[in-house]
Amino acid sequence: MSARRDPAGGGGTMKNCEYRQIEPQGLGTPNAAPPPPAGANDADTRAKRRRKWEVFPGKNRFYCDGRIMVARQSGVLPLTLGLIVLTSCLFFVFDCPFLVEHVTSCIPAIGGALFAFVIISLLQTSFRDPGILPRATADEAAYTEKQIDDSASSSYRPPPRTLEVIINQQVVKLKYCFTCKMFRPPRTSHCSLCDNCVERFDHHCPWVGNCVGKRNYRFFYAFIVSLSFLTAFIFGCVTTHLTLRSQGGKGLITAVQESPLIVCFFSVWSILGLSGFHTYLVASNLTTNEDIKGSWSGNSGVQNTVNPYSYNNIFANCCAVLCAPLPPSLIDRRGFLPTQESPPAAQPQVELPVFVGKSDLTVV
């Protein structure tokens, strides 16, 4: 509205003053930032959240955002890869050309297929979760301690360290792991090098840089068996090469100098022996840990013990160890850590602006 004094009325003038009503819902927050895009908050939140492998309590190393895991002491793995690659390269350079010319052209194809299978099996064994069991949470550990601790007695008694369960009419003792705060399931053992409880623990192999357990034993067995075939194949080809060279008028020493892989003669026997030992374990449904400790052979001090995990059939044992469905990983190393509940955000305070008239009101 406007107010104006007639100049004829004498005294003074009142300048025009205009007023405008502002709706409350039309008020905006001063200096308010524009709303972010729809997916920006989710992306920022996901970027700030940490994955479980970043706080994993075991002694493992993770690469490729947790997709690859190896033991912390995995320095021998590059040596294993180097020896396999170097031996195969020497074979393809020194022996294959002569054998292709004098024997058959299928030798490089067979050697290449065996070499590829060995490398793939080795990497599957080294970079896969061997069957690590997650450690008990604080609530789970408290519940377990409450179950095993007799706090009602006046005198302190340490909690028992074993539980006895019956598997196929055989008493099996479950030991309590003070590191993981849980009773280990059957055939589970705590690896001191990786600091993890591994299900169906076989052994810790420094040559593959990882524990060998339930989730990677079949790949480990495929690795040593294929490596045995590769080594025996190379050794047979080298022997054939030397024989043909020596029959061609050259002496044995000269032939050996042209084929340096005679060193396979010393390594093939150890690899074949290792493959034979694990073939016996697979056929008996045993682990290296159980065989060394004599858990089911009577060497542990318990008489009349039999392997409760054996199917009493070689074929059934091999199928159970090598062909059973592969269980999923239990540690979920690439999962996100649960976010803590944050207090509700404070409501922004709307500050009402101060309105000033367009002109001052003067009275004369």
- C-alpha span between 302 and 297 (Å, rounded): 9
Task: Give the distance from CA 309 to its chain's centroid.
Answer: 27
Q: What is the C-alpha R_g of the chain?
A: 38
| Residue 315 amino acid letter | F
Closest to 187 measured CA to CA, from 74, 307, 332: 307
* H, E, C per residue of 51-119: EHHHHCCCCEEEECCCCEEEECCCCHHHHHHHHHHHHHHHHHHHHHHHHHHHCCCCHHHHHHHHHHHHH
Helix, strand and coil in the chain, % to nearest 5: 45, 10, 45
Task: Give the distance from CA 325 to its chain's centroid.
Answer: 18
| Residue 68 amino acid letter | I
Q: Tell me whether residue 205 is one of the annotated catalytic residues.
A: yes
- C-alpha span between 243 and 99 (Å, rounded): 11
Residue length of the chain: 364
- C-alpha span between 107 and 103 (Å, rounded): 8
Residue 281 to residues 3, 6, 202, 203, 285, Cα–Cα distance (Å): 106, 116, 10, 13, 6
The catalytic position among 177, 191, 205, 211 is: 205
How many contiguous H segments (helices) and E segments (strands) does the chain have? Answer: 10, 9
Q: Give ∠ CA 228-231-234 in degrees, rounded to 5.
A: 145
62 within 8 A of 333, measured Cβ to Cβ: yes
Catalogue the active-site residues.
205
